C-alpha cells in the first residue's frame, strides 16, 4: 500500500506543470464539484484549505525546477509559510500527496514531510501525522486512498492506514489500520469495518498522469 498513485517522476517542465495543474484541479473538484474558473477563484479567496494546498502544490512544482527554484519558489515559499501561521496548516510542499486532498476546516493540521497521503483523503482540523524517531514504528504515517481523519486525531510513526479507512475524533493511532477499518480511542482500536463510506464525496480518479478525471461510482472508471 506504500504508494503515491498519480504522482509521476519529475520530467520535462511542461509535463510536470500539467501534472501539478491536474492535482490542483482534483483538489478543487473535492470542494466544488467542478473545476470552473469561478469556483477556483471563490475557493482560493475564501477557503483556507484549498488556498493552502494550491500554494503548496505550486511550491512543490517550482522547487523541482532549476529556474523556478531560484526565482519564483522563494517568494511563494514565504507565502506558504505565512498561510501556515495564519491558518494553522503545516504540510510541507515536498510531502507525497495524491490527488483530491480535502482539508475540512483549518487549524492544528500538522503533517510530517515524510508522510505519504493517498488520493481522495479528508483531513479535519486538529489532525496530525507525526514522525517517530525510534522503535519498531520509526518513521511517518502512510495513508491509502479515501481515508477520513476526524478532528483531533493523531497518527504517530510508520503506521499503515488502509484504503477507505476512517480514524475517529481525538483517536491516537499507534498500530496499522486495515482497509475499510474504523478506529477510535486512546490508543485507537478497531471498532467496525464500515470504513469511510459516506464521508468521502466528489472523488477523483487516483491516476492523474493523463489529466484530472472525476470518479464514476457506477462504472468504477474516470470520466472526462
Interval 34-62: pLDDT, tens: 999 999 999 999 999 999 999 999 999 99
Rounded CA-CA distance 192/7 in Å is 31
Rounded CA-CA distance 103/138 in Å is 26
| 5 has pLDDT over 80 | no
Rounded CA-CA distance 20/12 in Å is 12
Calculate what percentage of the chain has a pLDDT beyond 90.
83
pLDDT at site 12: 65
pTM above 0.75, yes or no: yes
Decide: helix, strand or coil at residue 206.
coil
DSSP 118-134: -SS-EEETT-EEE-B-S
Rounded CA-CA distance 27/94 in Å is 17
The DSSP bridge partners found for residue 190 are: 183
| 223 has pLDDT over 80 | no
Decide: helix, strand or coil at residue 106.
coil
Q: Is 5 exposed, middle or buried (0-12, 13-18, 19+ CB in 10 A)?
A: middle
Pick from 31-45, 58-72, 124-138, 146-160: least confident: 58-72
H helix runs in 6-72, sequence order: 13-32, 37-46, 48-63, 66-70
Q: Is 219 exposed, middle or buried (0-12, 13-18, 19+ CB in 10 A)?
A: exposed
Residue with cell 483517536: 171
Amino acid at each position: 500500500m506504500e504508494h503515491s498513485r498519480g504522482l509521476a517522476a519529475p520530467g520535462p517542465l511542461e509535463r510536470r506543470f500539467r501534472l501539478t495543474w491536474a492535482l490542483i484541479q482534483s483538489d478543487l473538484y473535492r470542494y466544488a464539484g467542478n473545476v470552473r474558473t469561478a469556483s477556483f477563484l471563490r475557493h482560493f479567496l475564501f477557503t483556507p484549505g484549498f488556498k493552502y494546498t494550491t500554494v503548496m502544490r505550486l511550491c512543490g512544482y517550482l522547487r523541482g525546477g532549476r529556474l523556478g527554484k531560484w526565482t519564483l519558489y522563494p517568494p511563494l515559499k514565504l507565502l506558504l509559510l505565512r498561510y501556515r501561521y495564519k491558518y494553522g496548516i503545516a504540510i510541507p510542499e515536498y510531502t507525497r500527496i495524491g490527488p483530491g486532498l480535502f482539508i475540512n476546516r483549518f487549524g492544528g493540521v500538522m503533517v510530517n514531510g515524510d508522510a505519504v497521503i493517498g488520493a481522495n483523503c479528508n483531513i479535519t482540523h486538529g489532525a496530525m501525522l507525526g514522525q517517530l524517531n525510534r522503535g519498531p514504528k520509526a518513521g511517518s504515517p502512510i495513508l491509502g486512498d479515501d481515508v477520513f481523519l476526524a478532528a483531533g486525531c493523531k497518527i504517530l510513526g510508520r503506521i499503515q492506514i488502509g484504503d477507505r479507512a476512517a480514524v475517529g475524533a481525538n483517536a491516537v493511532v499507534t498500530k496499522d489500520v486495515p482497509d475499510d477499518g474504523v478506529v477510535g480511542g486512546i490508543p485507537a482500536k478497531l471498532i467496525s469495518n464500515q470504513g469511510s463510506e459516506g464521508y468521502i464525496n466528489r472523488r477523483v480518479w487516483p491516476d492523474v498522469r493523463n489529466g484530472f478525471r472525476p470518479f464514476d461510482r457506477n462504472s468504477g472508471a474516470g470520466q472526462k
